[in-house]
Amino acid sequence: MQNPGTHAVCLRKVGLYLKDSVYEQLLWAISALKVDNLWKEKTSPLELVYIPTGQRIIFRGADKPKKIKSTKVRSGYIRYIWYEEVDEFTGIEEIRTINQSLMRGGAKYDVFYSFNPPKAVRNWVNTEVTKTFPDRFMHHSDYRDVPAEWLGEQFLIEAEQLKQSNPSAYEHEYLGKVTGTGAEVFNNVSVRAISDEEISTFDRIYRGLDWGFAADPFVYNAMHYDSKRKILYVFYEFYKQGAKYEAIAKAIGKENKNGGMITAESAEPRSNSELRDRGFNVIAAKKGPGSVEHGITWLQNLSQIVIDNSRCPNTAREFLEYELEPDNNGGFREGFPDKNNHSIDAVRYALESVIGKKTAKVGTTRRGIY
């Protein structure tokens, strides 16, 4: 209403749900603002029209992509886009495709993504919100942040009852916390920015790499380990499929300017030799029986694994999404899965000299190997 010439589109994954959710919610907002007389309601097609200027709020379901692509306005442009229950969409790729169809011909855009965080850490939307961009703002609120009269006494009674009887369910359902499914391997990951100033204070730098080329990526990670507080800081990654030696050497040299030791996957002796020929101090990881389980368990037992998701987006994703595999009995298979763990392997190799100081105690729990 304050920006003539702009229009809005509200989206749900399934168009059938538009009328009883975002449409009714906007009618409520119009009424709350006491501007009912300025808006015209239309149900075929579903639409709200601002009478003074003819600006429109359009409603579309992503289950009919052609209708989204054909969304046009007679004058002005679509500035506002609202994805309600965005976690119901298939992923950020689908969101990008829709935005590319709608965001054309305008000077400024505001895109809103609203959702209740899914329980699983590895859900795409929970992973997406860990990424930071200069023009992205994230807001988290729950039922305690709104007037009680919006909710009613019974709502508050049931919330309190669940809080007492099932705290984990309460935290997820009422507070919107990502409580996890129980399959997560790393519950000690903290994703945040690590500044250049903070990196300049790191005095125990460890470096590791995991070889890959076609199906699997090549990964190089640099990190600092604070042994007193048992905190690991991962601040650099080079993560690329099809990477050639020249590109790898350039990326490593950018970070490892003083020729620090690199612990590399031992299954690629020729590749390790190629890096040595280029002047890098590369040693092969020792590995050995039980080294994977021991290394991952050691990482699990750290008080914190801090990962800069701007500098190391793939490392953050792997650690956050790494989960035990389910069995057919409602539990989990023993051992840790050997997939989507390339950065995890590089980190294990880098810290091999530290991890190897203690022998692993191996047993089984509902979470797998410990």
β-pair type (364-365, 368-369): antiparallel
Neighbours of 355 (CB within 10 A): 19
- Catalytic residue at 85? yes
Enter the DSSP assignment of 22: I
Terminal alpha carbon distance of the chain: 59
Neighbours of 127 (CB within 10 A): 20
Of 85, 237, 268, 321, the catalytic one is: 85
* Cβ–Cβ under 8 Å, residues 82 and 59: no
**Cα–Cα dist 82/98, whole Å:** 11
**The tokens of 146 are what?**
């709104």
The phi and psi torsions of 88 (rounded to 5 degrees) equal -75, -15
Instruction: Return the SS3 of 2.
Output: coil
The phi and psi torsions of 248 (rounded to 5 degrees) equal -65, -45
Residue among 55, 22, 61 nearest 40 (CA) = 55
β-pair type (6-12, 77-84): parallel
Which residue numbers are catalytic? 85
